[in-house]
A = this chain, B = another copy of it.
Amino acid sequence: MNSLDDFDRKLLMEVQRDAQLPQNELGARVNLSTAAVNRRLRRLADEGVIQNYTAVVAPEKVGYLLTIIASVEVESEQIDLLDAMKRTFAQCPQIQQCYYVAGEWDFVLVLTVRNMDEYTALTRQLFFSNNNVKRFKTLVSMSRVKVGLSVPVDIDGK
């Protein structure tokens, strides 16, 4: 049902780089007619391979000057407590990413905040006032060396 060919992979590569390329330009790059490109992009979206199209906003241009990585260890791994935390984290607009991980920590969060005060307030709200947070650690980003969600869909293996 869900096997991608080289056309699909090339399209995904291009459209991850620039989702605004018109379909005729995509067609020129991957060697397909615009109609075929149109059909494939629709199929990829329908199948959920392409989750969505989004504009990437530069946080520093809208006043979000700080990026923070926070690790969280929980007190109890009881399912409903975990689910509640996941929901809380997912809903928090400043949390861009939340991973539930195995290892020394239970959650890793990537946050974007305006300044340290905003982060301090968030730690109160998210960590200190949550009984199930045993401890957390903060790493402050000095440089966002690479930031993206691109998946490498090179032309080869499977």
A-side interface residues toward B, CB under 8 Å? 2, 4, 9, 12, 15-20, 47-59, 61-64, 67, 69, 86, 89-90, 93-105, 107-108, 110, 112, 114, 137-154, 157-158
Q: Which residues of B contact A64 (CB under 8 A)?
A: 151-152
| A53→B50 contact, CB < 8 A | no
| A98→B18 contact, CB < 8 A | no
Q: Which residues of B contact A94 (CB under 8 A)?
A: 152
Please pick, from B62, B138, B144, the residue contacting A99 in the complex, using a CB distance under 8 A.
B144
Q: Which residues of B contact A95 (CB under 8 A)?
A: 146
Q: Which residues of B contact A17 (CB under 8 A)?
A: 52, 54
Q: Closest Cβ of chain B: how far from A7's Cβ, in Å?
A: 14
| A55→B61 contact, CB < 8 A | no
